[in-house]
C-alpha cells in the first residue's frame, strides 16, 4: 500500500526526467487571419505555437505577431470559436521573421478548440475521453442565477432537474444516470482548477413545524454566470480519472474569465430586468364552486340512509359531529371568493447588473467585475439578492517562463425564504394551505382592534398569506473563493505549478415565528432561531507537467499531489416565549425558554495523480491516468484506493484511405476507467455515541443529559467504485458544416454504500455498508449544423439526445429497499418506490387502481393469497378494504425514455435569434399533491380540495390511498428560452465598441399531459427517490429585457 | 546570461524540491469526531457512567406513541381496548392501524415493517446501549465501587426489562451481552425467561429499596420484584414457545418451576407480597392520582417511564386520542376505544369510568365548549364523542370514545406532558397476588379481600362478592385499561385470538408477533415464528 502511494509521483517524475532539457534560440512569426468565405479579417483568433506556451490573439485587422518563437520548424495553430482550427508548419530562423496566413472555415459548433480537461488543457481533437463543452455566452440567457442552469439541455447526458421555481433553487444533476443510491449524485465542480466542496452554505430552515424545510438553494449561486469563460463536463471515466476519487458522477470544470492583454482596457456593462409570474396554477375550487359543492352535499347527506346507518344524529338533526357532515354544514362558509394562490403569488421583478473591465499589458493582465442581482420569486417573501466582486490577475515574467495567477471571488447572497415544505405530514407550509384553505374566506377582516389575517383556527389550517407575510425566514452567505497559482517552466517542456485554493463560506439563517401567527403562538408565544454555519475548504495542489513534441510524436505527462481539508462548524441558538414580536430574532435574552447547540466536523482527502497523453502523427492518441486517493471518511485500512483510466482515439479522417469519404472529420474513441465516490458523512466508519437528544432522561424532575449510540461501527467501510466503459465516434460532414458525436457507455457501480439493517442488538437499526451493484447504460448523441451560412444570414442548430437505462443489479443482504415516502395527512409509513435488483432507481411500486364501486369506495387489484379472501373478490378489493402488501406491483418508472435538447442560433444582419427547446419523454411522475389534496372529505374539515376530485367518483369519506391512479405520464416539451438580440449602431457614442439589446423569455411554453404544476420536480423523499411532485414552489415564466455594452 | 541561468536553475531546483516535499507530506487520514463520542474513549468517571445509564433509561420512552409507537401501541391496539379508525383522509397510513387491530399482520406487511419492526429495534437498542456501558463498567473500576455496582445493577435490570418486552412480543430472541454486531440464533423463550430472571435476581442484590426524590424513576428492588411477579404470573405463556401454550384456554402458572425451586404461582405471589409488604409502596387514595402530571408523588407507582414537560421528554399520549380542538397543541384525533369495552364499565358504578371522554366535549385545558370546527358561536356543531363507530374504515371525527386516563399537564410544553407512565404499580401486585392464589399459591388475605382493597377507592358501594379467574381478567381491564397490559392478559386467558369489534377470530399463531422480514434479511439465522 505504502509503495503504491509513493510510486505514482515517482513514476511521474521519472518519466519527466527521461527527456533531455535543451535551450533554443528564437525568431518571430507573423501573419493575418481571414474568414474563408467572406475574406473578412477575423479578430480574436488565438494563434499558438504548438508544444509551447506561446500564444497571442489576432487584432481587429486580423493580424498577429508572435515573438520569441524557438528557431526551427514549428507548427502554428489558429483557433476561433465557430471555425475549424488550422495549423501550418513554418520554419523560424534565429532572429528571422516567418509568415503564416490563415483562412478559417466556419463550422457548425460554437465551441472552443482548446478544452480544459483537468490539471491542464487539451486540443479538442486530441481528447480521448467523453467531454462536453458549453459555450457560456450562448447559455447565459434569460434569468440565469448559477452555472447549473446554464448546463440544462445543452450537454447530452447531463440531466438537470431544478428542485422547484424558487429563486436560485438547487437542482438535482444526474450525469449519465447517477451512480449511487445513498451517496450524493452531484458531480464534482472544479472552479479555476480548484475542486470545490459543493455543500449547502446556509443552514436549513426550521423543521418540525411545517413539514420538512424546503431544499437548500444552489451553493453555486455565489458565482456570477457572466464571469464564466468556459464550462467543460467530463462524463466518462477516462476523462474524469484524473479526478478519480470524487468523479463517479462526472466533473464540471468551470474556468472564469481572465484579463486580455494588448489593446486598451475594455469595459463591459450588461444589465437586464425581468418580470416573472407563475407558469401554471394549482387547480383548486374557487369560492363559488366550493359553496356550490358544500351546500347540496349537506342535503344529500341528510337524506342518504346508507351514510346515516348507525349514525343516530342523522335522524335527529345535524347539530353534532357524529353525523359526519358537520364540516360541510353551510354555517362555516364565508361569502368571499379568495384565490389563495393568486394571493400568495405575484408578478416578480428581477434585475441584474454586471460591470467588468479588463486590460493590461502582454505580461500583466487583469480583469475585475462586479455584479448585483436581485431575483424576486413569484411567491411572496422569497428573494435572492447577490452582490459579487471578482478580481483576476495574471502576470508573466522571466521571458514568460514564470506565470502567476490570482483569482478572488467574494460574494454575498441574501436569501429571503418562504416557508414551504419539501415533504411533510399534517401541518404544512404556504403551498399546502393554498391547496386547502377555505376559498370562501377573506384574507383579512377588520374589527375594533384593527385589521387581522383571517384564521380558520384549529386543525392545522393556516392562512397562507399570513404564513407568507408573518413568518420571517432569512439567510445569507458570504463566500470567498480564492486561488493563487504559480507556474514555472523549469526547463524545456517541464513546467511546475503550485496552486493554493481557499473556499470559505459563512452562512447564517434567522427565523422568527411571531406570537401574532397561530404557528408562533402554538409554539410557546413566538419562536426565534439563529444558526451560523461555517464551511472551510483548503486545497493545495502541486503539479509537474512535461510536454514534448518532436516530429510525429507528441507527449505530455502531468504528475501531482493534492491535499483537501474540509471543516464545517455550526452554532444554533433559539428561544421561545416572547412578550412582544418587536424584537424578532434580535433579542434572544427576552425569550422565556432558550436553547443552544453547536457542532463541528472535519474531513481530509489526499490524492496523488498522474496522467500521460501520447499522440502520434496527430492521428493516434492515447491517454492514461492513475489517481491514488485517500479519504478520512472510510475505515482505517480502507482509506486508500487507486483509480485508473485509459483511453485512446483514432483520427480516421486523416488517414489516406479516408480522403474520398464523405467525412470531413471522423474520429473514434474508446475509454475505460474507475472512479470513486466519497460522498458520505465524516466519521461514517466509527462507532459513535451522541450526547443529549434521545439519550437524555429524567430522574426526579431533572433531565439528565445522557449518551446513546448513534452509529454502529463498520471497520470494513470502503470506497464505492464505478467502472465505466465508453465508446464514441466524432464526425464532421460537408466541411464540418455538420458535426456530431455518438457515444455509448456502460457504468457499473460496485460496493455501493448503502445503509443496511444490521442484526440486533445494535446501537442503531442500520449502518453504512458496501453492498450491492448498480448499472447505467446509455447512448448520447449530439449534432451541430451550420444550416445556413451566408454573409447576411447564418443559422446554427444543435441537438443533444440522451437515452439512459439504470438498473440495480444487486443489493446484497438488503433484499429490497422501500423509498419515496409519501407526504401528507394519513400517509405516515406509506412509500411509493421500491429499490430492488432488476429494477431501475425511481421505480414506482404500489397497488393498481381499478375504479370505484357504487358507494364510491376505491377498488384495487388484489389476489386472495395476498389479501384476505374476505377483502378480495374477482381480482378486486371489496368493502373499501385496501390492497394487501402482496398486491403491490411496479406501477411506473420515473426515468425518461430519452431527453432532447434543441438549440438554435440565427443571425440575420444585426438580429440574433436563439432558442432552446428541451424535451423529456416517457418518465412517470407521482402526483403526491393530487393524491393528498384531491380528497373531497377535506370539505368535512372545512378544507378545500383540487377540482378534479369533483368528478372522480371517489366517495366523500374515502381516505387518500396511494395507487397507480396518481402516477402520471410526465413527458414534456419545454421552450426553455427564446432570445432576440439586436446590435445597435451608436455612431454618436464613439467610445462604445459594441452595443446590443435583447429580449428573452424563459419557460414560455410547456407542452405536457401532466396535471400538476410542472412535471420536472424533485421532492427529497428517501433514498434515490425520483419523480415525486409535492407542493412545489411554482415555476415562473419570465420575460427579460437586457442591454450589453462594451467600451 | 550564465548568471541568469544559474539563478533559474536554483529556482527550478527549489520549486522541484517543494513539489516533491509536499507530495510526501500530509497523508494522515486519522479521524477524531468532534461533536460525538467514540465509545472507546468514554466511561472514565461517575458522570460519564451516569450519562451512559441515562441513555439506557431514555430508551424506555421509545415504546410510546409520539416517539415511535412500538411496544405500548402493539399491546393496546391489537386488543379490544383500542382501535385507530380511518377518519376521512386521516389515519389511513397505509392501512397500518387497522391491520394491527385486525391482527392482520404478516412478516412483510405495513404494520410489521413499521410498528412491529419498531418494537423489535427499540427494545434491542436498549439492550445494545446497556451492553456498551456494561462492557466498559464491568472491565474496570472508575468510581466508588459500591456506586459502580449499583449502576451495573441498574444496567442489567434495564437490559433484562428490554428482554422482557422482546420475550413478551416475539418469544425467543437472541440473547446478547457483548457489544459486537453479529448474526446470532434465537434461543428458546424459556431460555430468555431464565436469562431475565437470573439477571434481575443478580441486579436486585445491588439495588436500593428506595430512591430519593431526585432519583425518582431509577430502578429499585421493588421494580425488580414487580417485573418478576409479572413474569411468574405469565409463566404459563412466557416459558413456552409458539404452539406450546393455548391460544383459547387459560395458561396457568401452575406446574412451572422457577428460580429457587418454587412454583411460578408461588413465586408470583411472593414477589407481589415483597412489594405489598415492603412498606415502600401503598395504594394511592384516589385512582386518578396515579396518572396525573404530579404522579411522581404517587406512592403506588413501582416502575415507571419518566416523562417531563420538556421538548422531546414528554408524554405525548393525549395527542393520539384527543380531537383537534381539545388541547392547545393541536392533537391528532385518532386512538379510541371500542364500544364494547367502554360499555363493559356500564354494569358497574365504577369511578374508573372517568378515564373515558364521551358525549359533548370540552377543551381539556380551558373547559370551554368545543365544536368540531372552531367557532361554536358561529353555529359550528358541537363535538360529541359517540361509542359507536359505524364504519371503522370511514369514521367521522366524533366517533369512538376517547381515552383520558392521563390528564393534561398544566406545565406542558406543546405536546410534552410530565405524567409518568407506570409499567408496574401496586394495584397490579394485588391483582397478581389474587390470581396466583386462585392458581394454588398459598397466601393471605384471600383474592376477594385483595380485589376489594384495590376497588375501595373506586366504589361507593362495592358489590363484588366472589372472585374467579374471569373476574380477575375483568378487574384487570377496569383497573389497568390502556396501561399496556391487555395483550398479555388476553393471551394468558386464552382470549387474544377471539373475535371482537372490527376483528374476526384469528389463528393461534397470532399470539406471537412475526419477526419482521427486514430483520430476517439482516440476520438470516432468525427463524420465523411458527404460522407466519
Q: What is the DSSP string of A869-932?
A: GGGEETTEE-TTPPPPGGG-EEEEE-S-SEEEEEEEEEEETTEEEEEEEEEEES-EEEEHHHHH
**Residue A20 pLDDT > 60:** no
A552 in contact with B, Cβ within 8 Å = no
Q: Which helix (H) or strand (E) holds B478?
A: helix B469-480
* pLDDT at site A285: 93
Q: List the single residue in B with minimal CA-CA distance to A760.
A: B124
Helix ranges (DSSP H) in B286-425:
317-321, 339-344
Q: Which residue of B has its CA nearest to A932?
A: B89
Confidence of residue A990 (pLDDT cuts 50, 70, 90): low
- pLDDT for position A17: 39
B1 has a pLDDT exceeding 50: no
Q: What is the pLDDT of residues B373-386, one digit of tens each?
A: 776 766 667 788 98
Contacts of B96 in chain A (CB under 8 A): 828-829
Q: Say if the Cβ atoms of B390 and A959 lie within 8 Å.
A: no
Q: Tell me if B31 and A632 make a contact (CB, 8 A cut-off).
A: yes
Q: What is the pLDDT of residues A192-207, one digit of tens each?
A: 888 887 788 888 887 6
Rounded to whole angstroms, how far apart are CA atoms A683 and A687? 8
Average confidence (pLDDT) over B490-515: 95
Percent of chain A with pLDDT over 90: 39
Predicted pLDDT of residue B5: 43
pLDDT of B107-119, one tens digit each?
A: 989 899 999 999 9
- The Cα of B130 is separated from the nearest Cα of chain A by a number of Å equal to 9
Interface contact A460-B120, CB threshold 8 A: no
Question: Is B216 within 8 Å of A700 when comparing Cβ atoms?
Answer: yes
**Concatenated DSSP letters for A956-1016?**
TTPPP--SGGGEEE--EEEEEEEEEEEEEP-TT-TT-SEEEEEEEEEEEEEEE---SS-SS
DSSP annotation of B529 reads P
> How far, in Å, are A841, A918, A1007, B66 from residue A972 at the CA level?
21, 8, 5, 42
Residues of A in contact with B86 (CB under 8 A): 826, 959
- Nearest CA distance, B98 vs chain A (angstrom): 10
Which pLDDT value is given to residue A23? 44
Mutation for testing the B interface, residue in A455, A634, A761, A864 having most B CBs under 10 Å? A761
pLDDT at B3 exceeding the cut of 50: no
Average pLDDT (A182-191) is 81
A311 has a pLDDT exceeding 60:
no
- Report whether pLDDT(B461) > 50: yes
pLDDT in tens, A423-448: 665 566 888 889 989 899 899 988 88
Q: Is the pLDDT of residue B40 over 90?
A: no
Say which of B22, B42, B381 has its CB closest to residue A561: B22
Mean pLDDT of A658-670: 88
Interchain contact, B16 vs A756, CB within 8 Å: no
Is A664 within 8 Å of chain B by CB?
no
The three-class DSSP label of residue B231 is helix
**pLDDT (0 to 100) of residue A859:** 92
Whether A6 has a pLDDT exceeding 60, the answer reads no
Which residues in chain B have Cβ-Cβ distances shorter than 8 Å to A708? 55-56, 58-59, 125, 129
Question: How many residues can be counted in chain B?
Answer: 532
The answer on pLDDT for A869 being more than 80 is no
From the CA of B440, how many Å to the nearest CA of chain A?
38
Mutation for testing the B interface, residue in A312, A519, A760 having most B CBs under 10 Å: A760
Mutation pick from B56, B69, B89 vs chain A, by most beta carbons of A within 10 Å, is B89
Max avg pLDDT among A789-803, B328-342, B491-505: B491-505
CA distances from A732 to A81, A109, A628, A665 (A): 16, 10, 37, 4
Chain A nearest-CA residue for B60? A697
Output the average pLDDT for chain B. Answer: 90
The size of the A-B interface in CB pairs under 8 A is 382
Is the Cβ pair B54, A704 closer than 8 Å?
Answer: yes
CA separation for the pair B320, B199 (Å, rounded): 35
**Residue B311: band (very low, low, confident or very high) from pLDDT cuts 50, 70, 90:** confident
The nearest CA of chain B is from the CA of A559 a distance in Å of: 10
Which residues 6+ apart lie within 8 Å of A97 measured at CB? A27, A28, A29, A30
Which is more confident, A214 or B34?
A: B34
pLDDT band at A113 (very low <50, low <70, confident <90, very high): low
User: Is A331 within 8 Å of B379 when comparing Cβ atoms?
Assistant: yes
Q: What is the pLDDT of residue B22?
A: 53
B58-112, pLDDT tens digit by residue? 999 988 877 766 899 999 999 999 999 998 888 888 889 999 999 999 998 989 9
| Partners of residue A929 in chain B, C-beta under 8 Å | none
Task: Look at residue A317 and tell me whether its pLDDT is greater than 70.
Answer: no
A888-899 per-position pLDDT tens digit = 999 999 999 999
The mean per-residue pLDDT over the stretch A1000-1028 comes to 88
Of A698, A758, A829, the CB nearest to B94: A829
Query: By percentage, how much of chain B surpasses pLDDT 90?
Result: 71
Residue range B282-305: mean pLDDT, rounded: 93
Chain A 293-312, residues with CB within 8 Å of chain B CB atoms? 309-312
Is B328 within 8 Å of A881 when comparing Cβ atoms? Answer: no
In this complex, the residue of A322, A767, A941 whose CB is nearest that of residue B398 is A322
Chain-chain contact of B35 with A427 (C-beta, under 8 angstroms): no
Output the nine-digit C-alpha cell for A620.
493516434
pLDDT surpassing 70 at residue B7 = no
pLDDT at B18: 55
- Whether residues B86 and A522 touch (CB distance < 8 A) is answered with no
- Of residues A331, A604, A961, nearest to B92 (C-beta): A961
Q: What is the reported pLDDT for B496?
A: 96
The pLDDT of A105-127, averaged and rounded, is 73
Nearest CA in chain B to A577: B413
Task: Please give, rounded to a whole number of angstroms, the shortest distance from the CA of B76 to a CA of chain A.
Answer: 19
A635-640 mean pLDDT:
92
Select the residue of A686, A713, A940 nearest B88 (Cβ to Cβ): A940
Q: What would the pLDDT profile of A513-532 be if each residue is shown by its tens digit? A: 998 888 888 777 889 999 99
Residue written as cell 445509564? B53
Instruction: For A243-300, write each residue's pLDDT tens digit.
Output: 766 777 888 888 888 877 666 688 889 999 999 999 988 899 999 999 888 877 665 5
Residue A105: pLDDT above 70? yes
DSSP letters along B321-360, please?
HS-TTSSSS------BB-HHHHHHGGGTT-GGGGGEE-EE
Q: What is the DSSP letter of A133?
A: E
Q: Specify the pLDDT at position A938.
A: 83
Would you place residue A318 in the very low, low, confident or very high pLDDT band (cuts 50, 70, 90)? very low
> Does the structure show a pLDDT above 70 at A597?
yes
Nearest CA distance, B33 vs chain A (angstrom): 6
pLDDT of A457: 64
Taking CB atoms and an 8 Å cutoff, what residues of chain B touch A496? 12, 15-16, 19
- Does pLDDT of A15 surpass 70? no
In a 10 Å sphere around its CB, with 0-12 CB exposed, 13-18 middle and 19+ buried, how is residue A362 labelled? exposed
Q: Nearest Cα to A438, choosing from A949, A943, A1031?
A: A943
Query: CA-CA distance, A225 to A147, in Å (whole number)?
Result: 6
Write the DSSP symbol of residue A483: E
Q: What pLDDT shows up at residue B21?
A: 53
pLDDT of residue B25: 56
Task: Measure A723 CA to nearest chain B CA, in Å.
Answer: 25
Residue A493: pLDDT over 70: yes
Which residues in chain A touch residue B59, judged by CB atoms under 8 angstroms apart? 708
- The pLDDT of A33-61, averaged and rounded, is 80
What is the predicted pLDDT for the residue at A312? 47
Q: How are beta strands A924-927 and A1028-1029 bridged, if at all?
A: parallel
- SS3 state at B169: helix
8 A C-beta contact, residue B79 and residue B103: no
pLDDT at A313 over 60: no
Q: Yes or no: say if A759 and B182 are a contact pair by the CB < 8 Å rule.
A: yes
Indicate whether A697 pLDDT > 70: yes
Does the pLDDT at position A713 exceed 50?
yes
Say what the pLDDT of residue A299 is.
Answer: 59
Give the whole-angstrom CA distance, residue B457 versus residue B442.
26
Which residue in chain B has the smallest CA separation from A630?
A: B29
Tell me what the mean pLDDT of segment A664-689 comes to: 89
**What per-residue confidence (pLDDT) applies to A512?**
93
Amino acid at each position: 500500500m505504502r509503495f503504491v502511494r509513493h510510486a505514482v509521483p515517482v513514476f511521474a517524475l521519472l518519466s519527466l526526467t527521461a527527456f533531455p532539457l535543451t535551450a533554443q534560440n528564437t525568431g518571430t512569426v507573423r501573419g493575418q487571419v481571414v474568414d474563408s468565405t467572406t475574406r473578412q479579417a477575423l479578430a480574436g483568433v488565438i494563434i499558438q505555437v504548438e508544444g509551447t506556451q506561446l500564444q497571442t490573439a489576432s487584432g481587429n485587422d486580423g493580424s498577429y505577431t508572435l515573438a520569441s518563437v524557438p528557431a526551427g520548424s514549428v507548427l502554428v495553430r489558429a483557433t476561433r470559436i465557430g471555425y475549424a482550427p488550422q495549423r501550418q508548419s513554418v520554419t523560424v530562423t534565429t532572429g528571422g521573421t516567418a509568415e503564416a496566413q490563415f483562412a478559417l472555415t466556419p463550422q457548425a459548433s460554437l465551441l472552443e478548440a482548446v478544452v480544459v480537461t483537468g490539471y491542464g488543457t487539451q486540443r479538442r481533437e486530441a481528447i480521448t475521453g467523453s467531454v462536453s463543452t458549453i459555450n457560456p455566452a450562448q447559455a447565459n440567457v434569460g434569468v440565469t442565477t448559477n452555472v447549473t442552469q446554464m448546463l440544462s439541455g445543452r450537454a447530452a447526458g447531463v440531466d438537470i432537474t431544478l428542485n422547484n421555481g424558487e429563486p436560485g433553487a438547487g437542482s438535482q444533476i444526474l450525469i449519465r444516470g447517477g451512480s449511487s443510491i445513498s451517496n450524493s449524485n452531484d458531480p464534482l465542480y472544479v472552479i479555476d482548477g480548484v475542486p470545490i466542496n459543493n455543500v449547502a452554505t446556509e443552514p436549513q430552515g426550521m423543521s418540525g413545524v411545517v413539514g420538512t424545510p424546503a431544499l437548500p438553494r444552489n451553493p453555486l449561486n455565489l458565482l456570477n454566470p457572466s464571469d464564466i469563460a468556459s464550462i467543460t463536463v467530463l462524463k466518462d471515466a477516462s476523462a474524469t480519472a484524473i479526478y478519480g476519487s470524487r468523479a463517479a458522477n462526472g466533473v464540471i470544470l468551470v474556468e472564469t474569465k481572465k484579463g486580455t492583454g494588448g489593446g486598451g482596457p475594455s469595459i463591459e456593462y450588461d444589465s437586464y430586468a425581468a418580470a416573472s409570474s407563475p407558469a401554471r396554477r394549482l387547480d383548486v375550487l374557487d369560492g363559488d364552486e366550493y359553496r356550490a359543492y358544500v351546500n347540496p352535499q349537506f342535503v344529500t347527506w341528510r337524506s342518504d340512509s346508507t351514510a346515516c346507518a348507525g349514525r343516530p344524529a342523522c335522524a335527529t338533526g345535524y347539530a353534532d359531529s357524529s353525523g359526519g357532515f358537520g364540516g360541510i354544514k353551510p354555517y362555516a362558509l364565508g361569502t368571499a371568493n379568495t384565490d389563495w394562490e393568486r394571493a400568495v403569488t405575484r408578478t416578480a421583478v428581477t434585475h441584474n447588473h454586471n460591470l467588468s473591465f479588463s486590460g493590461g499589458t502582454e505580461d500583466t493582465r487583469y480583469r475585475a467585475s462586479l455584479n448585483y442581482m436581485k431575483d424576486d420569486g413569484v411567491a411572496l417573501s422569497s428573494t435572492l439578492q447577490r452582490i459579487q466582486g471578482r478580481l483576476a490577475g495574471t502576470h508573466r515574467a522571466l521571458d514568460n517562463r514564470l506565470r502567476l495567477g490570482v483569482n478572488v471571488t467574494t460574494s454575498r447572497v441574501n436569501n429571503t425564504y418562504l416557508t414551504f415544505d419539501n415533504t411533510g405530514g399534517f401541518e404544512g407550509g404556504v403551498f399546502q394551505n393554498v391547496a386547502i384553505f377555505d376559498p370562501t374566506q377573506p384574507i383579512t377582516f377588520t374589527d375594533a382592534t384593527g385589521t387581522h389575517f383571517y384564521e380558520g383556527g384549529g386543525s392545522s389550517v393556516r392562512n397562507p398569506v399570513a404564513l407568507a407575510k408573518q413568518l420571517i425566514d432569512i439567510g445569507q452567505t458570504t463566500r470567498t473563493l480564492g486561488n493563487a497559482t504559480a507556474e514555472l517552466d523549469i526547463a524545456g517542456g517541464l513546467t511546475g505549478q503550485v496552486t493554493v485554493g481557499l473556499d470559505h463560506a459563512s452562512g447564517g439563517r434567522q427565523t422568527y415565528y411571531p406570537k401574532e401567527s397561530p404557528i408562533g403562538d402554538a409554539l410557546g408565544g413566538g419562536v426565534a432561531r439563529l444558526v451560523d454555519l461555517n464551511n472551510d475548504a483548503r486545497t493545495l495542489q502541486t503539479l509537474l507537467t512535461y510536454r514534448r513534441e518532436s516530429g510525429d510524436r507528441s507527449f505530455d505527462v502531468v504528475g501531482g499531489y493534492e491535499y483537501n481539508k474540509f471543516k464545517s462548524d455550526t452554532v444554533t441558538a433559539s428561544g421561545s416565549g416572547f412578550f412582544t414580536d418587536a424584537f424578532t430574532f434580535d433579542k434572544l435574552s427576552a425569550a422565556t425558554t432558550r436553547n443552544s447547540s453547536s457542532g463541528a466536523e472535519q474531513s481530509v482527502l489526499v490524492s496523488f495523480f498522474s496522467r500521460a497523453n501520447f499522440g502520434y502523427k496527430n492521428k493516434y492518441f492515447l491517454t492514461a491516468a492513475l489517481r491514488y486517493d485517500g479519504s478520512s471518511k472510510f475505515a482505517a485500512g480502507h482509506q486508500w484506493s487507486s483509480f485508473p483510466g485509459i483511453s485512446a482515439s483514432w483520427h480516421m479522417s486523416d488517414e489516406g484511405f479516408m480522403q474520398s469519404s464523405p467525412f470531413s472529420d471522423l474520429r473514434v474513441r474508446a475509454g475505460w476507467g474507475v472512479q470513486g465516490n466519497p460522498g458520505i458523512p465524516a466519521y461514517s466508519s466509527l462507532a459513535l455515541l451522541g450526547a443529549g437528544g434521545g439519550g437524555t432522561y429524567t430522574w426526579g424532575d431533572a433531565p439528565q443529559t445522557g449518551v446513546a449510540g448513534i452509529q454502529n461501527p463498520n471497520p470494513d467501510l470502503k470506497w464505492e467504485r464505478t467502472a465505466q466503459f465508453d465508446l464514441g465516434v466524432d464526425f464532421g460532414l460537408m466541411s464540418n458544416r455538420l458535426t456530431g458525436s455518438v457515444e455509448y457507455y456502460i457504468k457499473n457501480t460496485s460496493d455501493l454504500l448503502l445503509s443496511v439493517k444490521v442484526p440486533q442488538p445494535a446501537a442503531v437499526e442500520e449502518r453504512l455498508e458496501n453492498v450491492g451493484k448498480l448499472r447505467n447504460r446509455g447512448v448520447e448523441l449530439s449534432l451541430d449544423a451550420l444550416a445556413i451560412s451566408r454573409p447576411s444570414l447564418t443559422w446554427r442548430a444543435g441537438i443533444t439526445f440522451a437515452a439512459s437505462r439504470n438498473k440495480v443489479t444487486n443489493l446484497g443482504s438488503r433484499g429490497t429497499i422501500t423509498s419515496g415516502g409519501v407526504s401528507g395527512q394519513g400517509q405516515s409509513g406509506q412509500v411509493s418506490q421500491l429499490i430492488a435488483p432488476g429494477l431501475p432507481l425511481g421505480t414506482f411500486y404500489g397497488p393498481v387502481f381499478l375504479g370505484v364501486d357504487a358507494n364510491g369506495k376505491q377498488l384495487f387489484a388484489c389476489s386472495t393469497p395476498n389479501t384476505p379472501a374476505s377483502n378480495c373478490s374477482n381480482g378486486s378489493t371489496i368493502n373499501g378494504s385496501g390492497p394487501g402488501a402482496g398486491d403491490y406491483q411496479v406501477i411506473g418508472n420515473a426515468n425518461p425514455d430519452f431527453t432532447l435538447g434543441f438549440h438554435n442560433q440565427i443571425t440575420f444582419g444585426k438580429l440574433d435569434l436563439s432558442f432552446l427547446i428541451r424535451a423529456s419523454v416517457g418518465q412517470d411522475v407521482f402526483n403526491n399533491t393530487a393524491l393528498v389534496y384531491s380528497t373531497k372529505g377535506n370539505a368535512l374539515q372545512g378544507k378545500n380540495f383540487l377540482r378534479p376530485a369533483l368528478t372522480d367518483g371517489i366517495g366523500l369519506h374515502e381516505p387518500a390511498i396511494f395507487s397507480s391512479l396518481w402516477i402520471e405520464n410526465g413527458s414534456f416539451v419545454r421552450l426553455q428560452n427564446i432570445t432576440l438580440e439586436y446590435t445597435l449602431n451608436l455612431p454618436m457614442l464613439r467610445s462604445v465598441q459594441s452595443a446590443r439589446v435583447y429580449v428573452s423569455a424563459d419557460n414560455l411554453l410547456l407542452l405536457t399531459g401532466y396535471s400538476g404544476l410542472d412535471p420536472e420536480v424533485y421532492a427529497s423523499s428517501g433514498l434515490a427517490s425520483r419523480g415525486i411532485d409535492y407542493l412545489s414552489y411554482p415555476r415562473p415564466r419570465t420575460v427579460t429585457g437586457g442591454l450589453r455594452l462594451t467600451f | 546570461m550564465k548568471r541568469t541561468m544559474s539563478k533559474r536553475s536554483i529556482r527550478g531546483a527549489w520549486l522541484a524540491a517543494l513539489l516533491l516535499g509536499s507530495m510526501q507530506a500530509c497523508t494522515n487520514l486519522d479521524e477524531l469526531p468532534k461533536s460525538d463520542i467514540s465509545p472507546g474513549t468514554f466511561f472514565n468517571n461517575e458522570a460519564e457512567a451516569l450519562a451512559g445509564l441515562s441513555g439506557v433509561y431514555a430508551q424506555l420512552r421509545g415504546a410510546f406513541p409520539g416517539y415511535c409507537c412500538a411496544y405500548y401501541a402493539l399491546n393496546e391496539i391489537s386488543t379490544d381496548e383500542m382501535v385507530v379508525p380511518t377518519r376521512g383522509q386521516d389515519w389511513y397510513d397505509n392501512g397500518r392501524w387497522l391491520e394491527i387491530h385486525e391482527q392482520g399482520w404478516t412478516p412483510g406487511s405495513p404494520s410489521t415493517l413499521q410498528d412491529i419492526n419498531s418494537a423489535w429495534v427499540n427494545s434491542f437498542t436498549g439492550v445494545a446501549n446497556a451492553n456498551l456501558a456494561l462492557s466498559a463498567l464491568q472491565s474496570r473500576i472508575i468510581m466508588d465501587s459500591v456506586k459502580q455496582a449499583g449502576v451495573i445493577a441498574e444496567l442489567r435490570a434495564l437490559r433484562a426489562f428490554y428482554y422482557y418486552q422482546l420475550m413478551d412480543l416475539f418469544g425467543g430472541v437472541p440473547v446478547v451481552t457483548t457489544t459486537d454486531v453479529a448474526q446470532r440464533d434465537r434461543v428458546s423463550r424459556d431460555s430468555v425467561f431464565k436469562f431475565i430472571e437470573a439477571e434481575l435476581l443478580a441486579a436486585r442484590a445491588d439495588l436500593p429499596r428506595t430512591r430519593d426524590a431526585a432519583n425518582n424513576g431509577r430502578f429499585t428492588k421493588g421494580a425488580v420484584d414487580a417485573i418478576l411477579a409479572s413474569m411468574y404470573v405469565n409463566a404459563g405463556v412466557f416459558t413456552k414457545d409458539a404452539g406450546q401454550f393455548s391460544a383459547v384456554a387459560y395458561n396457568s402458572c401452575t406446574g412451572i418451576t422457577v428460580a429457587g425451586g418454587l412454583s411460578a404461582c408461588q413465586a408470583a405471589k411472593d414477589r407481589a407480597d415483597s412489594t405489598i409488604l415492603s412498606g415502600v409502596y401503598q395504594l394511592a387514595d384516589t385512582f386518578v392520582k396515579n396518572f396525573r402530571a404530579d404522579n411522581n408523588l404517587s406512592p403506588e407507582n413501582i416502575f415507571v417511564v419518566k416523562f417531563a414537560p420538556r421538548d422531546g421528554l414528554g408524554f405525548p399520549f393525549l395527542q393520539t386520542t384527543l380531537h383537534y380542538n381539545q388541547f392547545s397543541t393541536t392533537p391528532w384525533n385518532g386512538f379510541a376505544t371500542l364500544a364494547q369495552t367502554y360499555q363493559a364499565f356500564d354494569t358497574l358504578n365504577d369511578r374508573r369510568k372517568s378515564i373515558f371522554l364521551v358525549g359533548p366535549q370540552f377543551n381539556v385545558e380551558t373547559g370551554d365548549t368545543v365544536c368540531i370546527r372552531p367557532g361554536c358561536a358561529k353555529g359550528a356543531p358541537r363535538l360529541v364523542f359517540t361509542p359507536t363507530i359505524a364504519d371503522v374504515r370511514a369514521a367521522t371525527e366524533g366517533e369512538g370514545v376517547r381515552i383520558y386516563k392521563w390528564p393534561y399537564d398544566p406545565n406542558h410544553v406543546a405536546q410534552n406532558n410530565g405524567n409518568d407512565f407506570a409499567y408496574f404499580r401496586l394495584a397490579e401486585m394485588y391483582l397478581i397476588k389474587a390470581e396466583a392464589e386462585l392458581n394454588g399459591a398459598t397466601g393471605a388475605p384471600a383474592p376477594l379481600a385483595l380485589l376489594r382493597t384495590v376497588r375501595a377507592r373506586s366504589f361507593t358501594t362495592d358489590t363484588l362478592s366472589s372472585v374467579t379467574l374471569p373476574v380477575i381478567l375483568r378487574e384487570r381491564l377496569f383497573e389497568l385499561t390502556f396501561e399496556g397490559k391487555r395483550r398479555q392478559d388476553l393471551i394468558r386467558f386464552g382470549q387474544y385470538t377471539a373475535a371482537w369489534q372490527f376483528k374476526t377470530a384469528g389463528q393461534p399463531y397470532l399470539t406471537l408477533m412475526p419477526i419482521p422480514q427486514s430483520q430476517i434479511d439482516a440476520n438470516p439465522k432468525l427463524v420465523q415464528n411458527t404460522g407466519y
